[in-house]
Structure 1
Amino acid sequence: MGDTESSEAGIWRRGLEGDAKAFGEIFDLHKDRVFRHAFRLLLDRHDAEDVTGTVFLELWRKRTRVRVVDGSLLPWLLVTAGHAAANTRRATSRYRALLDRIPRTEHLPAVEDEVLARLAPLGEDLHRLLQQLGPIDRSLATLVIVEGYPIGEAAELLKLTPAAAKTRLSRMKARLRLTIAPALSGQGDIS
């Protein structure tokens, strides 16, 4: 085991000196142990694969500060896997809590063919307008306007105050009216 430890330290030194192959050798040497540790903590193959990738990305990012213990990087890798697995568990927990807060509907009403026919000419303009919005405004528009969620729930999800969400929606609707007004001329109301 002494030879493996000393050779691993040598491989790592080569990696720190710029030898790209050395990093691949370290990955090959420890990827299975890191994956098994992550899997033990998460009990999910896909999450364990993600954690394994994160661990080796962190190894590369923090390579000048990585602590080698008894000639091996494995202890550092396993501790980092533990931290990454905890982060994954917290993110999964938050995501599940969010899904539990979203109201479930038994049946989504069908969209009337007539409404679709009237909206068809707006599709390109509407798509272009949505693409111009920032990610928060796009999510807000999708949740409130398209999916019909209450503005308060959408605001909470997006970490906005209800007043800020209302202001953003008002501005988006004004821009939408200006954008689609030419396409609506002669078609009447679309609601």
Structure 2
Amino acid sequence: MHNAGLDEAVAWSRARDGDPDAFTSLFDKHRDRVFGHALRLVRQPHDAEDVTAVVFLEAWRRRDAVRVVDGSIIAWLLVTANNTVHNLERGKRRYRAALTRMSEPGRTPDHADDVAEDLDNRERDRRVRDAFATLSTADQNVITLCVLEELPLADAARTLGVPVGTVKSRLSRAKRRLGDLTLVSEPIHPALEGGAE
């Protein structure tokens, strides 16, 4: 389906009523942006593909819960991606913990993770991802919407269902925490330098 001139609010209204073609048009419009955001967080394309699939499955399954902000559902999709990544990482930690409990004494550890870490992108990117992962879900959402996606504070507040003042205070706290955690001399992202607008 061609997306030029797509009236997203109308398409979502039809999708919410169960129209699969309308939902497909919204998937086609937003899948690359959701995938790109997921890839920033999880690093592995196959994991980002899984996150993207779950996000759109949740959008279809929870159609009545999706919020349209400024005529678009993208903010809801990105916040759902954050939550999905959080759940994915929690599942991986549980899996690793289970494997550790099952490992045989004296077994030689697998060095694949160390090699993969060495091949990872720049050290600065790793620190930023790690720091982002330690933020609360609320702080991750406000950084995603206001910094990475550059949404106006009012749109972020409507998406999250909180007052603008809450978004401002969360954004300030999250920027400060990211700066402390990454310990980099240059800014992580140009929008992290200044205060909320």
Number of the residue aligned with 1:19:
19
Q: Decide which structure has the larger Cα Rg and report it.
A: 1
Is the 1:5–1:71 Cα contact (8 Å) retained in structure 2? no
* CA shift for structure 1 position 48: 1.0
* CA shift for structure 1 position 20: 1.5
Q: What CA deviation, in whole Å up to 9, does each residue of 1:101-157 have, x standing for no partner? A: 2123789xxxxxxxxxxxxxxxxxxxxxxxxxxxxxxxxxxxxxxxxxxxxxxxxxx
- TM-score, length of structure 1 as denominator length: 0.50
Number of the residue aligned with 1:37:
37
Query: Aligned partner of 2:55: which letter?
Result: V
* CA shift for structure 1 position 99: 1.2
Number of the residue aligned with 2:7:
7
Number of the residue aligned with 2:69:
69
Is the 1:38–1:52 Cα contact (8 Å) retained in structure 2? yes
User: 1:162-177 residue pairs with structure 2 within 5 A?
Assistant: none
Partner Cα distance (1:16, 1:59) in 2: 9
Number of the residue aligned with 1:135:
none
Matched pairs, number: 105
* CA shift for structure 1 position 45: 1.4
Structure 2 residue matching 1:72: 3-state secondary structure: coil
Partner Cα distance (1:11, 1:32) in 2: 18
User: 1:1-191 residue pairs with structure 2 within 5 A?
Assistant: 7-104=7-104
Q: 1:68 to 1:6 in 2, by over 3 A?
A: farther
Q: What CA deviation, in whole Å up to 9, does each residue of 1:73-105 have, x standing for no partner? A: 000000000000000011011111111221237
Query: Aligned partner of 1:16: which letter?
Result: R
Partner Cα distance (1:100, 1:93) in 2: 10
Structure 2 residue matching 1:24: 3-state secondary structure: helix
Partner Cα distance (1:55, 1:95) in 2: 22
Number of the residue aligned with 2:153:
none
Q: Which consecutive unaligned segments of at least 5 residues does structure 1 have?
A: 108-191
Percent identity of the aligned residues?
52
Partner Cα distance (1:73, 1:5) in 2: 16
- TM-score, length of structure 2 as denominator length: 0.49
* CA shift for structure 1 position 5: 8.8
* CA shift for structure 1 position 19: 2.1
Q: 1:103 to 1:65 in 2, by over 3 A?
A: closer
Query: Aligned partner of 1:69: which letter?
Result: V
* CA shift for structure 1 position 18: 3.2
How large is the RMSD of aligned CA atoms in angstroms?
Answer: 2.2
